[in-house]
A = this chain, B = another copy of it.
Amino acid sequence: MIKVTGYAAKHSFSRLKPLEIERDEAGPQEVEIEVLFCGICHSDVHQVKNEWGNTVYPSMPGHEIVGRVTKAGSAVTRHLVGDLVGVGCMIDSCGTCGPCTNHEENYCEGPNSWLATYNGPMVPKAKAPDGTNIYGRDNTFGGYSNIVVVKEDFVLKIPPSLKPADAAPILCAGVTTYSPLKHFGVKAGDKVGVVGFGGLGDMAAKLAIGLGADVTIFTTTKEKIADAEHLGAKGIWEKDKEAFAALKASFDFILSTVPEKHDINPFIELLKRDSTIAVVGALEPMAPVNNMEVAFHRKSVAGSLIGSIAETQEVLDFCGANGIVPDIEIIPIQDVNHAYRKVEKGDVRFRYVIDMASLKAEIDDQQES
Write the residues of chain A forming the contact surface with B, with a CB cutoff of 8 angstroms: 98-99, 107, 109, 183, 249, 265, 273, 276, 279-280, 282-292, 294-305
Given the known interface contacts A107-B273, A286-B289, the answer about A301 and B300 at a Cβ–Cβ threshold of 8 Å is: yes
Please name all residues of chain B whose beta carbon is closer than 8 Å to the beta carbon of A99 when the two chains form the complex: 273
Q: Which listed residue (B286, B290, B302) contacts A300, Cβ 8 A?
A: B302
> Judging by beta carbons under 8 Å apart, are A291 and B295 in contact?
no
Supply 13 further A-B pairs (C-beta < 8 A) apart from A279-B295, A299-B302, A299-B303: A98-B273, A183-B298, A265-B285, A283-B292, A284-B292, A285-B290, A285-B291, A294-B302, A295-B304, A295-B305, A296-B305, A298-B304, A300-B302
10 inter-chain pairs at a CB distance below 8 angstroms, sorted by A residue, are A109-B273, A283-B295, A285-B288, A287-B288, A291-B303, A295-B304, A297-B305, A298-B303, A298-B304, A299-B303
Q: Which of B276, B298, B301, B304 contacts A289 (CB 8 A)?
A: B301
Q: Which residue of B lies closest to A249 (CB)?
A: B109
A289 adjacent to B289 (CB under 8 Å) = yes
From B107, B291, B294, give the contact of A298 (CB < 8 A). B107
Which one, B283, B288, B290, B297, contacts A288 given CB within 8 A? B288
The minimal Cβ–Cβ distance linking A275 to chain B, given in whole angstroms, is: 11
CA gap between A289 and B295 in the complex, in Å: 16
B300 A300 Cβ-Cβ under 8 A:
yes
Q: What residue in chain B is nearest A296 (Cβ atoms)?
A: B305
A53 to chain B, nearest CB (A): 11
Instruction: Give the CA-CA distance A304 to B299 in the complex, in Å.
Output: 8
Smallest CB gap from A183: residue in B: B298
Q: Are B303 and A296 in contact (CB under 8 A)?
A: yes
A279 to chain B: which residues have CB within 8 Å? 291, 294-295
When distances are taken between beta carbons in the complex, the residues of chain B under 8 Å from A107 are: 273, 296-298
> A290 contacts which chain B residues (CB < 8 A)?
284-286
- Give Cα A289 to B280, complex, Å: 14
Distance in Å: Cβ of A260 to nearest Cβ of chain B? 11
Q: B299 to A294, Cβ gap below 8 A? A: no
By a CB distance below 8 angstroms, the chain B residues around A292 are 283-284
A290 to B183, CA, bound (A): 21
In the complex, the 6 A-B pairs of residues with the closest C-beta atoms, listed nearest first: A295-B303, A294-B303, A285-B288, A300-B302, A283-B292, A300-B300
Instruction: Report the separation of the CA atoms of residues A273 and B113 in the bound assembly, to the nearest whole angstrom.
Output: 13
Count chain B CB atoms within 10 A of each CB in A183, A283, A285, A291 and give the residue with the most.
A291
A282 to B291, CA, bound (A): 7
Chain B contacts for A288, CB-based, 8 A:
285-288
Residues in B neighbouring A289, C-beta threshold 8 A = 285-286, 289, 301
Please give, as numbers and ranges, the residues of chain B lying within 8 Å of A305 by CB-CB distance: 295-298
Nearest chain-B residue to A276 (Cβ)? Answer: B300
Q: Which residue of B lies closest to A283 (CB)?
A: B292
Query: A280 contacts which of B283, B285, B295, B301 (Cβ < 8 Å)?
Result: B295
Residues of B close to A98: CB separation below 8 A: 273
| Most central of A249, A265, A295 by chain B CB within 10 Å | A295
Q: Separation in Å of the A129 CB from the closest CB of chain B? A: 11
Taking CB atoms, residues of chain B closer than 8 Å to A282 are 291
A336 to chain B, nearest CB (A): 26
Chain B proximity of A89: nearest CB distance (Å): 13
Closest residue on chain B to residue A104 by CB atoms: B273
Residue of B nearest to A123 (CB): B296
CB-CB nearest in chain B for A97: B273
